[in-house]
Structure 1
């Protein structure tokens, strides 16, 4: 509708944060009603036909700036060929002889990925729209340990949406596939705290970051994508409809005549999204000392393996270790989610927190902080 822009400018501009959706013609009134309710601008830009021909019509000049068969664009796209090689990593196990529990705990709690992050959270308003049912701050003492974010669908409804994240970039230094699987698993164990239902309702967004062309990274990227895209997610029944990538995670420079370089490990950041049946049923990490005698239960998805490679503990002692954590059994993860959903729906849980960076002791500490207890 912008008369001051040419068809070229409108068609080719790189506008961010826009989505192109295919909507059935009979569902268009419903879609329009949703957009009006959410105050979301939209435009119907055309219709899909069986004929593989792209036509762009300009009503102002009554001509077709684009009028060409689709095979011109897609029919003979050249394929990229890459010669890649795998890299074998062999590291010594984590040296634990000099590690003292109290000192190790203090170090882990100060590691940025584990440490308290109020300074990042309070710089913004967490209640915009008045439909935020679960933000980062948990309990009366407002400790930022929430597992997932939950919003309501409208001001007069308890239905809503949940969002969570998962990432395990350091693990890629030891095992590309394990790093990707753990990212997906963490997003699932985080979002399990709210009332979703079927695991198939969860949709993932995958943000891939890699130093393409660096030794072993291309093969590692293939291994990681295959691990989640062809193996883990299909088994779980979860789809990844969207994502993005950054393939230049390496920088080089010259300093005092010496070549220097910094290369980031392969990183997969997973964002999980799902519809929530009742936002009031969301469980937080806050330990409830006002509920009488209670029990703390550990559901060990690692099946007792307790591998320490590329953990927060290893990092604070400037080590890497040899064997990282991994998704041991996909069916166990799936059954865990189903069991959690049954317990959440029946209001059987007083508190819940996933085991993540920092291990079990950090999980318990964060729950105690949120409950102001010891």
Structure 2
């Protein structure tokens, strides 16, 4: 914390920032951090090893130079700025030491008092252009079977998917921490008056007075990598962007951090890693005009052990975890999954970038059935994702989107359920437009084989297509719009080349609706019949069950039971703001001609909200002083 305060003081100086360059100390310790620090400036350096702060004086030079002790930074500071930097450090009681100087000569030299220089070598030897690694790898052909849906109950599928840890509520992870440290959180995991953890992205403010800020999201589709590694990478990037799209982003301003994990050396894994890196770094991201400036890797994702004399081993498929970041001019354009319950007649629009393929490979439904599947979802055209970003931003600018949620884990049904939970409003889904064959021809015209069993075969086929439509995890977004705006919304989607794959898939049933059927429920309709219906309360209890069971083990069981019992209760009015004052009134205005009373903001190591408190007191007419 002390180091962070010093860094904050430095960058707050603007053009007079004493820090010319900063690098955290990680893998390789000082040997990597200092070397990269001076190399990026085209310089060499001379370091005094014994100037490095040590608790153990007997360390050998290699132990000092290469140890990876954490919570350290290396900085480049101009000599004339050193007194200013020293003053900042003394003020914050942050230890630092000057351990070397940069040199014009590109030579790296370590000086160890009373001993021969442990290192004295040209920088180019370390960081020149080494020969590229060459690895001979082989792609391993794997055979997979399509998921068999015959006899699968829709009701059981809904319960199994909503209660699967991948889809279920992550409340147990969210409520154990403070989500508003520092006072600049605009959107966190929780959404709406009932605080349901379904947010697509996090949004923070840049300062306390303005509306500029930043949005952050994540994307990962690791289960797909066991079947198609490159597709899993493309889907991870696309998921991060569709999550981030809840905020008013522009693609060229999006930056990605890629965390790669693989079991290199295992049959086929090196080839899968190469294929995924190529798909992301050389094909998809350049096409999207999105950069990946940072990342990390862990390439030994395997574990081995012996049990009862038998050797066992588990390896991880190629796993790409994508974190997306973007600056925002105005955070107030951020959309949430909370369905609007104040408008009587609204429609749900599915923008399906899967284009009706409904590929189930690697889906949560497949996991619940114990079937990985064969064909996985994929981003087949980067232009489709670009068009989606542009279309959503256009609809946002026109004020035509009431709620937004991406389709991901659990598919359309999970997305609609989460939106209904957040808004506490009934939803009636209609899958008629989705249960068609890939060419769009109605199932009633398909070749059903034996004519005597035509009706039975068509019925079974439509049940399978219903499951695919509801649980496939193809890329897409679910939008709530006013029914009166349907044509205008579709026209905007048409202008961006998406109308062919956009469908009206449902209606909301708020308490004020003139239609009673479906109020307080999630229903699925097909062929004018309700093929599934359940109360939102019962479904949210299922969805919350994983958090409940984990909380029982971690927290007071009685508290866990009470919290779970309250999830989705229809009579809960939710949280509502009722201010007894005008927040826009400047309470300090009558006293501007008088001296402001002074207030001390006490700060100690570990304190995080001192700036927030100082701003609040300043707005209230005080003169705040930082005391620590």
TM-score range, shorter chain: 0.7 to 0.9
Partner of 1:195: 248
Q: What displacement does 1:158 show? A: 1.1
Cα displacement string for residues 80-129 of structure 1 (whole angstroms, at most 9, x for unaligned residues): 44331101122111101021111101100111110011011111111111
Please say if 1:293 is aligned against 2:345. yes
Q: Is the 8 A contact 1:199 1:338 kept in 2?
A: no
Q: Does 1:262 align with 2:262?
A: no
Q: Deviations over 1:253-301 (max 9, x none)?
A: 1111111111112111000011011112210000001134222111111
Task: Please give the alpha-carbon distance, in whole angstroms, between the structure 2 residues aligned to 1:181 and 1:107.
Answer: 27
What root-mean-square deviation, in Å, do the aligned CA atoms of Structure 1 and Structure 2 show? 3.1
Select which of 377, 396, 407 maps to 1:325: 377
2:400 maps to 1:348? yes
Give 3-state SS (helix, strand or coil) of 2:413's partner. helix
User: How far 1:55 sits from its partner (Å)?
Assistant: 5.7
TM-score, length-scaled by structure 1: 0.87
Match of 2:420? Answer: 368
* Contact in 2 for aligned 1:137/1:143 (Cα 8 Å): yes
Q: Residue 220 of structure 1 aligns to a residue in which SS?
A: helix
Report the 3-state secondary structure (helix = DSSP H, G, I; strand = E; otherwise coil) of the residue aligned with 1:206.
strand
- Cα distance between partner residues in 2 of 1:153 and 1:355: 29
Q: Which residue of 2 aligns with 1:136?
A: 189
Corresponding residue for residue 178 of structure 1? 231
Q: Which residue of 2 aligns with 1:283?
A: 335
1:208-223 equivalent positions in 2, closer than 5 A: 208-223=260-275
Contact kept? 1:195, 1:341, Cα under 8 Å: yes
Gaps of 5+ in 2: 1-50, 427-628
Q: Secondary structure at the match of 2:338?
A: coil
The counterpart of 1:70, out of the listed 123, 129, 132, is: 123
Check 1:128–1:85 CA distance in 2 against 1; reply closer, same or farther (3 A cut): same
Quote the Cα distance in structure 2 between the aligned partners of 1:16 and 1:278: 36
Matches within 5 A, 1:52-63: 52-54=106-108
In 1, Cα distance between the equivalents of 2:394 and 2:76? Answer: 34
Q: Secondary structure at the match of 1:86?
A: coil
Distance 1:17 1:103, change over 3 A: farther
In structure 2, the CA distance between the partners of 1:252 and 1:4, relative to structure 1 (3 Å rule), is closer
The offset of 1:8, in angstroms, is 7.0
Tell me, in whole angstroms, the C-alpha distance in 1 between the residues paired with 2:331 and 2:343: 21
Does residue 243 of structure 1 match 2:295? yes
1:163 pairs, out of 197, 210, 216, with 216
Return closer, same or farther for 1:16/1:182 CA change in 2, 3 Å cut-off.
Answer: farther
1:304 to 340, 350, 356: 356
Shift of 1:73: 1.3
With over 3 angstroms needed to count, the CA separation of the structure-2 counterparts of 1:192 and 1:21, relative to structure 1, is: farther
1:104 matches 2:148: no
Aligned equivalents of 1:303, 1:211: Cα separation in 2:
33
Distance 2:185 2:424 in 1: 24
Aligned mates of 1:270, 1:292 — CA distance in 2: 39
Give, in angstroms, the shift of residue 15 of structure 1: 4.6
Kept in 2, the 8 Å contact 1:287–1:370? The answer is: yes
Q: Is the 8 A contact 2:53 2:97 kept in 1?
A: no
Distance 1:357 1:69, change over 3 A: same
Choose between structure 1 and 2 for higher RCO, CA contacts under 8 A separated by at least 6 residues: 1
1:14 and 2:65 equivalent?
no
Structure 1 residue 53: Cα displacement: 3.6
Distance 1:81-1:242 versus aligned 2 partners, 3 A rule: same
1:218/1:57 CA distance change after superposition, 3 Å:
same
Label 1:45 to 1:332 Cα distance change in 2 as closer, same or farther (>3 A).
farther
Matched, 1:149 2:215: no
Preserved contact between residue 52 and residue 99 of structure 2 (Cα < 8 Å): no
Larger Rg: 2
Match of 2:173 in 1: 120
C-alpha contact 2:260 2:319 (8 A) present in aligned 1: yes
Distance between the aligned counterparts of 2:286 and 2:70, measured in 1?
A: 30
Question: What is the distance in 2 between the residues matched to 1:118 and 1:178?
Answer: 30
Cα distance in 2 for partners of 1:17, 1:207 equals 21
Per the alignment, do residues 298 and 45 of structure 1 end up closer, same or farther by CA in structure 2, a change over 3 Å counting?
Answer: farther
Cα separation, partners in 2 of 1:261 and 1:335, compared to 1, 3 Å: same
Contact 2:52 2:97 in 1 (8 A): no
Structure 2 CA distance for partners of 1:76 and 1:224, relative to 1, 3 Å: closer
Whether the 8 Å CA contact 2:145–2:374 is kept in 1: the answer is yes
Report the more deviating stretch, 345-354 or 364-373: 345-354
In the TM superposition, residue 347 of structure 1 has moved relative to its aligned partner by 3.3
